């Protein structure tokens, strides 16, 4: 890696962005102008989804080839090997430009790639990391199961060794992006006789392999952002194992900490949030309805503002810990819990302000549209670990309370 100063890097990054993207234009729309859609979960048609993935891949390849795809990654795996401050500089500059959404890569780069880097064989790292960061392939996470729910250690998908391969049978559920993913990180039970945390093993699985079936799940919002995935005699080479046999719990924790950092650091954890809605949009709604002077409504709005602000500071503290090179701590579980609690507060305020307008589409701009957000909140309470699991983590690891009694 050739030495480059941060000032030189900034100039290089600015030149790349100026040549390949248009500057973002901040258009301040008043009430009733533009789209009134506010959603938490992706609600796209298959055609819209394919177009988004194609645009994201094209941009990621261009970005990577110019040296900005994996700024902090190790150079022997396709990264540039620069300090985190360089990545922050680039992201700051990039925020001024209109670039394609990179949402299709959120799970692969935010959760799966760090796990591969930490636990995979060298061959698997060489095979997938560069491709993931360049956008050539997309990855999904295969953890949750219909019976186990949030009890990850209780999963039942089996992997049985067969020579140099593993034979996988079982079912996963709530898998985001499985429909367009090329590989997945899967945790399987490899020894049913060991305690449930001890008999798990992680693998990288080919999502196009024979025996893998992806079925979309329709949500009450009307969309199908998640999938159930069935595995029938799916073969995985042993060199695609993540970590040691029966040590998959450690692998899973690596992924989960990255997942909670990714989820908790965004959305309603901060004051913007809510898919472009957030507090500002709710305040506009209160004014439009003439409710901004009501004492009860004002108290509810103030309470929402306070919790959003506290969550934003908590997230900032966690991100500073990460920037300094430390591992994700339990504050990421606090961030995830704050996220869902704040969305619930939003839903309560909206229900109070809108009343019947929230359930009956009168055609009024900025009213019934909030239904999509409200119906998406229960899903957010499950994604990345349920509220109950987060409370256990906070209670045990932050407050030092005794562990929850195990079921007999």
Residues 73 and 158 grouped into a single domain: no
Lowest mean pLDDT of 112-126, 149-163, 265-279, 338-352, name the range. Answer: 265-279
Secondary structure (DSSP) of 2-56: ----HHHHHHHHHHHHHHHSEEP------TT-S-----SS----HHHHHHHHHHH
Residues 235 and 282 grouped into a single domain: no
Closest CA to 255 of 144, 404, 400, 371: 144
Residues 22 and 82 grouped into a single domain: yes
Residues 240 and 156 grouped into a single domain: yes
Write the DSSP symbol of residue 330.
T
Q: Which letter, b or e, does each residue of 70-101 get, where b requires 16 or more Cβ atoms within 10 Å of its Cβ?
A: bbebeeebbbbebeeebbebbeebbeeeebbe
Alpha carbon distance 379, 223 (integer Å): 12
| Residue with more model confidence, 273 or 7 | 7
Using pLDDT thresholds of 50, 70 and 90, give the confidence band for residue 237.
very high
- Domain containing 335 equals 265-398
Residues 278 and 381 grouped into a single domain: yes
The per-residue pLDDT of the chain, averaged, comes to: 88
Residues 273 and 159 grouped into a single domain: no
Is the pLDDT at 170 greater than 70, yes or no?
yes
Is the pLDDT at 163 greater than 90, yes or no?
yes
**CA 105 from chain center: how many Å?**
9
Segment 20-56, tens digit of pLDDT: 999 988 767 778 888 888 888 777 888 999 999 999 9
Is the pLDDT at 274 greater than 50, yes or no?
no
Using pLDDT thresholds of 50, 70 and 90, give the confidence band for residue 393.
confident
Q: Which two tokens stand for residue 66?
A: 């110019």
Residues 92 and 27 grouped into a single domain: yes
Asked if residue 130 is part of any domain, the answer here is no
pLDDT of residue 267: 46
- CATH number of the domain where residue 284 is located: 1.20.140.10
Asked if residue 199 is part of any domain, the answer here is yes
Q: What is the mean pLDDT of residues 330-345?
A: 84
pLDDT of residue 1: 44
Q: What is the mean pLDDT of residues 210-216?
A: 97
Q: What is the mean pLDDT of residues 83-112?
A: 94
Asked if residue 178 is part of any domain, the answer here is yes
Q: What is the pTM of this model?
A: 0.83
Give the containing element (helix H, strand E) for 328. Answer: none
Q: Which of 268-272, 322-326, 353-357 has the highest mean predicted lDDT (pLDDT)? A: 353-357
Write the DSSP symbol of residue 272.
S
Q: Which letter, b or e, does each residue of 195-214 get, where b requires 16 or more Cβ atoms within 10 Å of its Cβ?
A: ebeebbbbbbbebeeeebeb
Q: At 162, is the secondary structure helix, strand, or coil?
A: strand
pLDDT of residue 331: 67
Asked if residue 252 is part of any domain, the answer here is no
pLDDT of residue 156: 94
Q: Which of 87-91, 204-208, 343-347 has the highest mean predicted lDDT (pLDDT)? A: 204-208
Asked if residue 113 is part of any domain, the answer here is no
Lowest mean pLDDT of 2-11, 143-152, 263-272, 320-329, name the range. Answer: 263-272
Q: What is the mean pLDDT of residues 166-190?
A: 96
pLDDT of residue 164: 97
Residues 295 and 357 grouped into a single domain: yes
Lowest mean pLDDT of 47-56, 101-110, 296-305, 322-331, name the range. Answer: 322-331
For residue 45, count other CB atoms closer than 10 A to its CB: 10
Using pLDDT thresholds of 50, 70 and 90, give the confidence band for residue 383.
confident
Residues 235 and 144 grouped into a single domain: yes
Is the pLDDT at 296 greater than 90, yes or no?
yes
Asked if residue 131 is part of any domain, the answer here is no
- CATH number of the domain where residue 151 is located: 2.40.110.10
Residues 271 and 392 grouped into a single domain: yes
Is the pLDDT at 378 greater than 50, yes or no?
yes
pLDDT of residue 324: 63
Residues 223 and 296 grouped into a single domain: no
Residues 192 and 282 grouped into a single domain: no
Q: Which of 142-156, 187-201, 303-317 has the highest mean predicted lDDT (pLDDT)? A: 187-201
Asked if residue 127 is part of any domain, the answer here is no
What's the domain count of the chain? Answer: 3
Asked if residue 176 is part of any domain, the answer here is yes
């Amino acid at each position: 890696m050739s030495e480059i100063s941060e000032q030189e890097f900034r100039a290089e990054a600015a030149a790349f962005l100026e040549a390949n993207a248009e500057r973002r234009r901040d258009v301040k729309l008043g009430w009733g102008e533009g789209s009134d859609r506010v959603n938490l979960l992706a609600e796209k048609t298959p055609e819209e989804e394919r177009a988004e993935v194609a645009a994201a891949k094209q941009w990621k390849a261009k970005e990577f080839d110019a040296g900005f795809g994996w700024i902090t990654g190790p150079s022997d795996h396709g990264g540039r090997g620069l300090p985190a401050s360089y990545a922050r500089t680039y992201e700051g500059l990039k925020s001024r430009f209109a670039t394609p959404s990179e949402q299709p890569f959120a799970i692969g780069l935010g959760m799966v790639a760090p796990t591969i880097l930490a636990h995979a064989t060298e061959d698997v790292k060489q095979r997938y990391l560069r491709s993931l960061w360049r956008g050539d392939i997309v990855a999904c996470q295969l953890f949750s199961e219909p019976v186990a729910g949030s009890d990850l250690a209780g999963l039942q998908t089996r992997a049985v060794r067969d020579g140099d391969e593993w034979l996988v049978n079982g079912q996963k559920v709530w898998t985001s992006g499985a429909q367009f993913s090329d590989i997945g990180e899967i945790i399987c039970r490899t020894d049913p006789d060991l305690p449930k945390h001890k008999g798990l093993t992680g693998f990288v699985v080919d999502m196009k392999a024979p025996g893998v079936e992806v079925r979309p799940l329709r949500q009450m919002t009307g969309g199908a952002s998640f999938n159930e995935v069935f595995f029938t005699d799916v073969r995985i080479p042993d060199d695609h194992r993540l970590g040691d046999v029966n040590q998959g719990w450690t692998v899973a924790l690596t992924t989960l900490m990255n997942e909670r950092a990714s989820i908790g650091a965004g959305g309603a954890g901060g004051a913007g949030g809510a898919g472009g809605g957030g507090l500002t949009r709710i305040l506009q709604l209160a004014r439009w309805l003439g409710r901004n002077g009501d004492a009860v409504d004002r108290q509810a709005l103030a309470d929402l503002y306070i919790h959003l602000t506290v969550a934003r500071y908590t997230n900032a503290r966690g991100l500073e810990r990460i920037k300094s090179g430390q591992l994700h701590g339990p504050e990421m579980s606090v961030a995830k819990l704050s996220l869902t609690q704040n969305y619930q507060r939003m839903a309560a305020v909206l229900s109070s302000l809108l009343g019947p307008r929230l359930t009956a589409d009168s055609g009024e701009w900025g009213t019934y549209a909030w239904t999509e957000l409200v119906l998406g909140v229960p899903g957010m309470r499950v994604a990345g670990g349920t509220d109950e699991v987060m409370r256990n983590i906070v209670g045990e690891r932050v407050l030092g309370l005794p562990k929850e009694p195990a079921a007999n």
